[in-house]
Structure 1
Amino acid sequence: MQPRPTPSRATKILLLSLSSTIALTAAAHAQVVTPASSAIDIKLIKKIERAERGTGSVSKEAVRNTSPVQSFQSVLKTVPGFTVRNTNPGNLTAGDTTFTYQGFNSDQVGMEFDGVPIINAFRGGTNGQGSDHALSPVASGQFDSVVIYSGANSPSETGINALGGTINYLPKLPTPQFYATISGHGGSYASNPEGGLDNGGISINSGALNSTGTELYGNFYHTNYQSYLKHVFSINNNAYLSALQPYDEGRSQFSFILINNAERAQQPETIPLALVQQYGSDFQYPLNISNNRTTTKSFTTIVGWRSIINQYVVARAKLFYTQDNNDRTAYSNAAYVGGFGGYPLPTSLKSYANPAPNGIPDNTYNPTALFGSSYNGTQYQRYIDNFNNIGVTPSLSFLLPHNTITVGGLYIHSQDHSAEYWYGAGNVPTTDGYNDAWDEHDLRNYADIYIQDHIRLLNNKLSITPGLKYYTVLTTSNDISGYYYNYAGTVKNRFNYSEPSFGVSYEALKNLDLYAHYGRVYKVPNISAYYSVIGNAPTPGLELVRPEYVDAIDTGVRYDIGKIKTTLAYFRRSFSNKFGYYYNNATGQTIQYNVGTALYQGATASIDAALTPQLSVYVNYDYTSAKYTSNYLANDGASVYNGELVGGVPLYNLNFGVQYKKSGLTTKLTDSLVGPWHMNTDLGSPAALPAVHPYNIVDLNIGYSWKTRSPYVHKWTLNAYVDNLFDTNYNPYEYQQIGGGPKGSPNYIAVETGAPVFIGLGLKLKLS
């Protein structure tokens, strides 16, 4: 084997120039592959300037040491302003919103993997929305670290629907040296020994192949989750593959990523608080009364390319495809048509499923003839939601003496097939015109172009980043006749808008950086705004909901004192055309509307300090005030008033962590405090109830690694996890249901309870 050549002096000069002027994808992760006869290695290019706005991150080490019952979203819970609502393992959730970030719901935050959107283009977010409550688009072992951009950002970094910010999961990529791992985890919830997990998996990293320089990495993990909630479980099979292929003497590179995650689960439900108080925090309905079985699959593939065209131009492009399939059958026992314990079951039985006398709708299914009554014949309700995105995102960066101009764009073609069918037995047929509540096909095309500049002045102390993005979004929704739609129909429209941004960063003193950033971000209406105007008449109504948008301002200061890093920032998010939502259980439709204006503002502060080579600590704090700034009264009775607090927004988050590392031993203790917040009603408006109490969660992780003298076994790693160390009893999500409760108190509170203490062990063997 010949030694790899060292880059020439000219190459090094060009690399230094490039590294100070452009930001490539995080796939350039400081792992360098130099194929034979290397000249300029594109993997060496990385960004060295600070961003002109607030950012956050979750490091490789934090991701690697996360408890096995944490989800791909709950790993973010120590980020300032981030609050996790779903604490079930296996990405299971009982509600549509899985987290909030500085007051913004999960469908109002851009979600990306390797810089490409992984969202549900029709409802927002990655999971939870549209009853997709057991979906794993990303799983542990598939991402290396996470970057969080607060508010509006430069056009190339602003995701779709990124009203509150953008979260980008950076992929697990191959490295130049061969290794393989075998790992397993086990554990249980102390207050419910039946709950817990067992999992096992294998990963292989090929190293750089001598003949081509190709690098490959792949893993597979099988996990059985048994929730801390009774009857709730999730069985996951997750496969992942990534590859890097340099060419043109290292000046260019192809990358490839594939994710294939399959899940089979019993979904959790929100439970009336009175039943939780009566039966315990782990209560879920007995399976013979109500259950919700789901099978889901999530597939993502990304083909990337980037190349140094010459000393002035760098080109990048990614082609991607995502496919998410959800197939859920909900069951409600007709003997409990009046409810359980005085409260309605999660899935309502229907009294009107027999054929209509006038043939409108045109369903021919006769549940009374087959099962004795309409209630008996609607005990099983099968819901299907399959959506996909295919897109491309190209860009060119022009490297000029004092600035870098980037032009780029994004095109996504998205499809959604959503349907529901009712029957009196578990083998629910899916026949349109027979037993369909709805059968809907949607299309949405996103297209944008952008230009941004990064200007460097005053010996690189001053950075100015203007940018402009232009969007066009075309949406079509088609529904056939069904129980929820008397008439078939199609609705379509197009929205066009521009998103300006402008940022400034100034190094006032050595290690003292001042920054400010402004940007505007839009979110088009969810698909519910379209399908809700279909079906009431032969001709559909007009889609009247306007895009909501946010004018975002971020300003702050960052100061490093030796190995102590500090930040202090202020953010202001001015909402216009803010969306409101209401789910009508009788019609099965989610109604969306504009409620007017709102103002989210607050401050964040953080300290991250390496006190000694062994001991490090961090503290961060976020304060968020979210208030409506206009009055609105909806047709469903929901109302908001100027000055009223927005529901579901924690007033503050406080996180603390301490880590000690020495001689293979790593001990980390983290503490997350979530402040009080006001709940919403099921109509979408704030509830006239006292604030939900704050809660505090402490996690402990102890790991020990030791190397061996074996020529094959390189290292053993043993980890112990204790989540919620002090077994805090809390509800991360609550809302007030208007009507339907017991006589005398028809309005009631429903909750999703939080996970109790979890104790687990993990063992990993690394071969090399």
Structure 2
Amino acid sequence: MQVGTRRKRILLITACSVASGMVFSARVWAQSAPAPIIIPATPATGNAPIIPGGTATPVDQAVHIAKIKKFYKELLLKEKNVAAAVSHIDKKQIDSVAVSGSIQSLLKQTPSVNEYQQNLGQSVPVLTIRGVRNSQLAQTLDGIPLQDLLSGGQGAFLNNNVGSPVTLGQISGTTVYPGVAPPNEQGFATIGGTIAYTTKKPSAKPSAEVFGGYGSFDTSNIGFELNTGAYKNEIDGVRALLRYSQTYTAGYTDNTNSRFGDMLFSFDKPYDEGLSHITGTVIYNRGNGYVLTSPLPVALLNQYGPSFNFPKSTTYNRQNDSYLTAILGDETYINPHLIVSGKLFYIHNTTNQTNYLTPAINPSVFNAALPYGVDGQSLAQFYTASNFGPGNTFYKPGLFTYNPGAVFGQAYAGLAATQTDNHTTTVGFTPRMNIFLPHNNITIGALFAKETSAGSEYIYGTDPMPEIAGYNSFGLGGGAQRTVYTAFLSDKIELLDNKLHIEPGISLTGVYSSVKAPLSYFNPSYKLANYGSTAEPYLGISYDFPHNLVAYASYGKGARFAPTTDYSLGSAGSTTAAPGPEIVHAYEAGLRYDTPRLYLNADIYYQKVNDAFSFYTNYNTGLSSYINVGEQQFRGVEASGKFRVTPEIELFGNGSYNQANYLNSYSASVTPFQGQFGYAFKGDPVTSAPKWLGNFGVEYDHGPFSARFAGQYTGQQYTTFDYAPTDAAYIPGTAQPASGFPGIQYALTTSPNKTFLLPGFLTLNVLLKYNVPVHYGSMKKLTLSLNVRNLLGLNYYSHFYNVYQQISGPASGPTPYLGTAPYATAFYGPPRTIFASVSAKF
């Protein structure tokens, strides 16, 4: 749903922290009529508020409550009449996804968000917002940057694909800011939007919960959540939350079993009568399992069924990933006009990846028994056996002396497995200051962060393999680092009797990056470094018209710095400057109608990307070129609404229409997962960006029973294809020789396919809950849940790709080339998934 910004609310003030940087929060219930803040009366006198556990006099308590009321009013001014189409995801929407989805699939319940993944749970999610891919989006967790600072998203291609730094059970809500958000909400390095996750926090009341469930595809989940409540029920009493869960699934695609373990610990120590807080959060998540490195041949899916996957004896990619996040924060009340806060954070992610491809599939000989390509990401697929051994290309004493032919009798048999290990570490600090003036709400903040990475790569003929540096090490040493310096200023100005709201802001960012390339077969170890900076202004305006109608408009500039993987040597060994940042100019305007019973929003947007990253790799020399020459545009319309029919029934829905196109021709990464380099021509559509997206449904909540019925529509989307060798002679659709085109070899090149669109599809989902009345010991509530995803069992493709068969000539002939017969590959979307669970709360 869209965020409601003018609803009247009854507020129960509690002494706990709020993620936006304030020092208190409020539990909110929408009502049909305006209502003031409700302060419980003292039973004895009837005229003074009660503060549980407090020892202050009624006068002191009244002063304390007055402070909180004042601060809440200031915070509300910051969130009210937002000049953008912001979407908020609440607990009911989180529960509706359950263990079958991910924190990315959760976002698909909001306008303009498309997502697909290849397994249940947190497994290889692919995300776009208004057509902009995940690596180009900012993500925050309680205000700190969550995405990889070096590469964007969760990291480079085929890294950290199982599990996540934060998972569904660990968040209390999510806010999606498409386009460019105000500087105080924007996060680091985005040209398409910001996703702000909020973790669960301990409450003032103690509780304990155990939960578990079982469902389709041998999926199971079990865990517990402990909440200590406030110590001695005091307003300044420390409180803590501990949650742990474990999930296993065999996966709806064969041979993609995965296991996840998630732990969250959070504490809150209020002080100064609850006006200030020291908070801490530690998250440790692990995921291990098998993933697909590329879509599967459609002919084999048709022959063997939607669950088909190559057996592990043929190929597999196994990942063991871990994520540690620690946040220590303080929010301090200084006086009625000033609050200062800051957070220190530490993030450490590791990925351990094994690729295997059976030696029975030898690319030097055409295998008629296997007419479709098998993409296992093994190095053996990219190099011929003659490259290895003494005197050949990759033989380099001190780095690589492994001779696969001598060890395994056949060179190719010794190249079956590749082992890659990478880790990243990020440390940082986010100071912030909120200043409250009669007509201004000013936020001043900064981000200081540094991320470092390192890794290694080994090859051998078996899995597991020995990892011996200087013997079978394909790369030694190396790594990257990036240091970020950001300062921002944001204001909320109230004019014309608080009817006109102006939000100016600016963010200034400087980034120092360096890359030390590992000692490898192509080059000696070398180091590249550069410094870049940007200024990103923002302006939002909204006006309150009569009858609860608000008009708003905004402009924002965003910038994304080049991934450190784009730093490379130029021709003849010369260093080339890394690409500058790619830039977006985003415009948005809309109307919002907001009452306690009916909420409506409609907006239009236009986003133009300049200096988009372009790269081209010459496989004859092993050198790549990275420059800023691309241009793209994203434009569309969004709408959303929510209607309270009765106190028990609520209708909701949203929809979007999006057009995403390339504005010029350049070498580009044309898929959202970034696994395919290619070429985009002027006017080509951006792939995997459906023109139409929509959500609709109804919620029913009465007594112990609740139900949620929801539908998701994903419209047609453009796909990609590879050019055959005959296409290399001419520019497609013309008689002009392709040699006149800058730096493009069409064979093996992937481009948007304008002649075939992936059909749209509609899935229906149901969540049923029943609170069983129990009177057993200290048990307070027993909840039974049934979650059904894709209720009708629709078979559909979530991703589609046309390729050409790769066939080699004779062993003494040319390197592998593409044949002339195309075939299709695809990912199937999740089939019907049923999950039943039970939880007991004490």
TM-score in same-fold range (> 0.5): yes
- Distance, in Å, in 2 between the alignment partners of 1:359 and 1:179 is 61
Residue in structure 2 matched with residue 9 of structure 1 by the alignment: none
RMSD over aligned CA atoms reads 2.8
Q: Which SS does the other structure have where 1:702 is aligned?
A: strand
Match of 1:552 among 586, 595, 611: 586
- Distance, in Å, in 1 between the alignment partners of 2:394 and 2:713 is 57
Farther off after superposition, 422-431 or 460-469: 422-431
1:28 to 2:25 alignment:
yes
Aligned 8 A contact 1:556 1:569 in 2: yes
Q: CA deviation at 1:378?
A: 1.4
Q: CA deviation at 1:224?
A: 1.0
Residue in structure 2 matched with residue 132 of structure 1 by the alignment: 160
CA 1:295–1:633 in 2, change beyond 3 Å: closer, same or farther?
A: closer
Cα distance per residue 1:172-203 (max 9 Å; x no partner): 01111111001001001xxxxxx231111011
- Distance, in Å, in 2 between the alignment partners of 1:560 and 1:311 is 30
1:221 to 2:256 alignment:
no
CA 1:557–1:540 in 2, change beyond 3 Å: closer, same or farther?
A: same
Give the TM-score of the pair, scaled to structure 2: 0.83
CA 1:741–1:622 in 2, change beyond 3 Å: closer, same or farther?
A: farther
- Distance, in Å, in 2 between the alignment partners of 1:760 and 1:397 is 45
CA 1:517–1:684 in 2, change beyond 3 Å: closer, same or farther?
A: farther
Q: CA deviation at 1:23?
A: 5.3
Cα distance per residue 1:551-573 (max 9 Å; x no partner): 01111010135501000001110
The amino acid across from 1:686 in the alignment is P
Match of 2:116 among 74, 81, 85: 85
Residue in structure 2 matched with residue 233 of structure 1 by the alignment: 257
CA 1:357–1:230 in 2, change beyond 3 Å: closer, same or farther?
A: closer
Residue in structure 2 matched with residue 755 of structure 1 by the alignment: 830
1:414 to 2:480 alignment:
no
- Distance, in Å, in 1 between the alignment partners of 2:668 and 2:267 is 52
Task: Give 1:233-272 correspondences, 5 Å limit.
Answer: 233-269=257-293, 270-272=295-297
Residue in structure 1 matched with residue 812 of structure 2 by the alignment: none
CA 1:64–1:744 in 2, change beyond 3 Å: closer, same or farther?
A: closer
Cα distance per residue 1:25-52 (max 9 Å; x no partner): 6983549987654764788744321312
Task: Give 1:649-660 correspondences, 5 Å limit.
Answer: 649-660=689-700
1:353 to 2:427 alignment:
no
- Distance, in Å, in 1 between the alignment partners of 2:133 and 2:677 is 22
Q: CA deviation at 1:359?
A: 7.4
Match of 1:387 among 424, 429, 453: 424
CA 1:561–1:737 in 2, change beyond 3 Å: closer, same or farther?
A: same
- Distance, in Å, in 1 between the alignment partners of 2:619 and 2:839 is 48
Aligned 8 A contact 1:82 1:99 in 2: yes
Q: Which SS does the other structure have where 1:369 is aligned?
A: helix
1:197 to 2:227 alignment:
no
Q: CA deviation at 1:98?
A: 1.3
1:600 to 2:597 alignment:
no
Q: CA deviation at 1:410?
A: 0.2
Aligned 8 A contact 1:33 1:213 in 2: no
CA 1:271–1:377 in 2, change beyond 3 Å: closer, same or farther?
A: same
Q: Which SS does the other structure have where 1:617 is aligned?
A: strand
- Distance, in Å, in 2 between the alignment partners of 1:240 and 1:697 is 32
Residue in structure 1 matched with residue 771 of structure 2 by the alignment: 705
Residue in structure 1 matched with residue 569 of structure 2 by the alignment: 533
Cα distance per residue 1:190-231 (max 9 Å; x no partner): xxxxx2311110110101101651111111111111100101
The amino acid across from 1:543 in the alignment is A
Give the TM-score of the pair, scaled to structure 1: 0.90
- Distance, in Å, in 2 between the alignment partners of 1:341 and 1:43 is 70
Q: Which SS does the other structure have where 1:62 is aligned?
A: helix
Aligned 8 A contact 1:489 1:540 in 2: no
Task: Give 1:560-571 correspondences, 5 Å limit.
Answer: 560-571=594-605
Q: Which SS does the other structure have where 1:285 is aligned?
A: coil
Aligned 8 A contact 2:119 2:256 in 1: no
Q: CA deviation at 1:365?
A: 1.4
Q: Which SS does the other structure have where 2:516 is aligned?
A: strand
Residue in structure 1 matched with residue 333 of structure 2 by the alignment: 308
Cα distance per residue 1:608-628 (max 9 Å; x no partner): 111111111111111111112
The amino acid across from 2:794 in the alignment is T
- Distance, in Å, in 1 between the alignment partners of 2:109 and 2:693 is 9
- Distance, in Å, in 1 between the alignment partners of 2:801 and 2:780 is 51
Residue in structure 1 matched with residue 484 of structure 2 by the alignment: 446
- Distance, in Å, in 2 between the alignment partners of 1:373 and 1:25 is 66
Residue in structure 1 matched with residue 311 of structure 2 by the alignment: 286
Farther off after superposition, 490-499 or 586-595: 586-595
Q: CA deviation at 1:591?
A: 6.9
Residue in structure 1 matched with residue 353 of structure 2 by the alignment: 328
Task: Flag structure 2 segments of 5+ consecutive residues without an equivalent.
Answer: 1-11, 29-50, 670-675, 723-748, 809-817
Q: CA deviation at 1:438?
A: 2.8
Aligned 8 A contact 2:794 2:831 in 1: yes
Q: Which SS does the other structure have where 2:756 is aligned?
A: coil
Q: CA deviation at 1:238?
A: 1.0
Residue in structure 2 matched with residue 466 of structure 1 by the alignment: 504
Farther off after superposition, 353-362 or 163-172: 353-362
Residue in structure 2 matched with residue 679 of structure 1 by the alignment: 719
Match of 2:408 among 358, 363, 371: 371
- Distance, in Å, in 2 between the alignment partners of 1:377 and 1:585 is 23
Aligned 8 A contact 2:615 2:667 in 1: no
Task: Give 1:720-739 correspondences, 5 Å limit.
Answer: 720-737=786-803
Residue in structure 2 matched with residue 399 of structure 1 by the alignment: 436
Q: CA deviation at 1:421?
A: 1.1
The amino acid across from 1:354 in the alignment is G
Aligned 8 A contact 1:433 1:481 in 2: no
Farther off after superposition, 756-765 or 633-642: 633-642
Cα distance per residue 1:226-284 (max 9 Å; x no partner): 10010111111111111111112222101111110112212234212232223222111
Farther off after superposition, 37-46 or 322-331: 37-46
Farther off after superposition, 588-597 or 56-65: 588-597
- Distance, in Å, in 2 between the alignment partners of 1:623 and 1:318 is 39
Match of 2:688 among 648, 651, 662: 648
The amino acid across from 1:643 in the alignment is G
Match of 2:208 among 157, 161, 180: 180
- Distance, in Å, in 1 between the alignment partners of 2:449 and 2:753 is 38
Aligned 8 A contact 2:614 2:630 in 1: no
Cα distance per residue 1:280-328 (max 9 Å; x no partner): 2211111111112221111111111111111111111111111110001
Cα distance per residue 1:371-411 (max 9 Å; x no partner): 12331111110011211211111011221111122211101
Task: Flag structure 1 segments of 5+ consecutive residues without an equivalent.
Answer: 1-14, 189-194
- Distance, in Å, in 2 between the alignment partners of 1:196 and 1:585 is 44
